[in-house]
């Protein structure tokens, strides 16, 4: 499960490559991290920094109501990203086109009775 939490600069994480994500290292990559509200995507143990995003951008991306508090918005986004995607059993447009082309090719092949040697 992915956990979202507001970035405050007080916690040291680990980047996925194994280096420490200290406050200084994070601010080097995300200079606005303490000027605006940023959200860290981390693991259940709050150790690995899987991602870092601006909360306003995430609100827009996931259509989160602007009347929600920061904590409520973060919780709503976390619920969305942890909800499993339903797999569609309907064929995609590409799959339908491929099947139609395959049928055309097979239908254009001569019948065994028509083949002369």
Whole-prediction pTM: 0.71
Residue 57 belongs to a domain: yes
In terms of Cβ atoms closer than 10 Å to its own Cβ (0-12, 13-18, 19+), residue 15 is middle
Considering the domain boundaries, does residue 13 fall inside one? Answer: yes
Q: Report which of residues 111 and 106 the model is more confident about.
A: 106
Is the pLDDT at 111 greater than 80, yes or no?
A: no
Tokens of 85: 């995607």
pLDDT, one tens digit per residue, over 58-90 is 999 999 999 999 999 999 999 999 998 887 788
What confidence tens digit (pLDDT) does each residue in 3-27 have?
999 999 999 999 999 999 999 999 9
Are 107 and 32 a contacting pair, CB within 8 Å? no
Tell whether 12 is covered by a domain: yes
Is 114 among the domain residues?
no
Question: How many domains does the structure of the chain reveal?
Answer: 1
Alpha carbon distance 102, 96 (integer Å): 10
Q: Give 38-80 as a DSSP string.
A: EEEEE-TTS-BEEEEEEHHHHHHHTT--TTS-HHHHHHHHHHH
Write out the residue range of the structural domain in which residue 39 sits. 3-82
The tokens describing 115, both together, are 């083949």
Asked, for residue 31, whether it belongs to a domain, the answer is yes
pLDDT at 115: 61
Q: Report phi then psi at 4, rounded to 5.
A: -110, 135
Is position 112 within any domain? no
Nearest to 38 by CA among 78, 15, 9: 9
Give CA–CA dist 93/98, Å, rounded: 9
Tokens of 18: 């194994």
Asked if residue 78 is part of any domain, the answer here is: yes
Give the model's confidence band at 116: pLDDT under 50 very low, under 70 low, under 90 confident, else very high.
low
Instruction: Write the pLDDT tens digit of every residue in 32-48.
Output: 999 999 999 999 999 99
Residue 114 banded pLDDT, cuts 50, 70, 90:
low
Position 44 scores a pLDDT of 96
- Side-chain half-sphere of 51: how many Cα atoms within 13 Å? 10
- Answer yes or no: is 111 within a domain: no
């Amino acid at each position: 499960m992915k956990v979202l939490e507001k970035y405050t600069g007080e916690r040291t994480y680990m980047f996925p490559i194994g280096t420490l994500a200290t406050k200084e290292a994070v601010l080097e990559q995300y200079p606005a991290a303490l000027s605006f509200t940023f959200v860290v995507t981390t693991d259940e143990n709050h150790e690995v920094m899987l991602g870092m995003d601006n909360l306003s951008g995430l609100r827009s991306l996931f259509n989160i109501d602007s009347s929600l508090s920061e904590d409520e918005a973060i919780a709503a986004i976390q619920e969305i990203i942890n909800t499993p995607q339903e797999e569609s059993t309907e064929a995609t447009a590409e799959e339908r086109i491929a099947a139609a082309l395959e049928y055309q090719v097979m239908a254009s092949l001569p019948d065994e009775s028509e083949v002369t040697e």
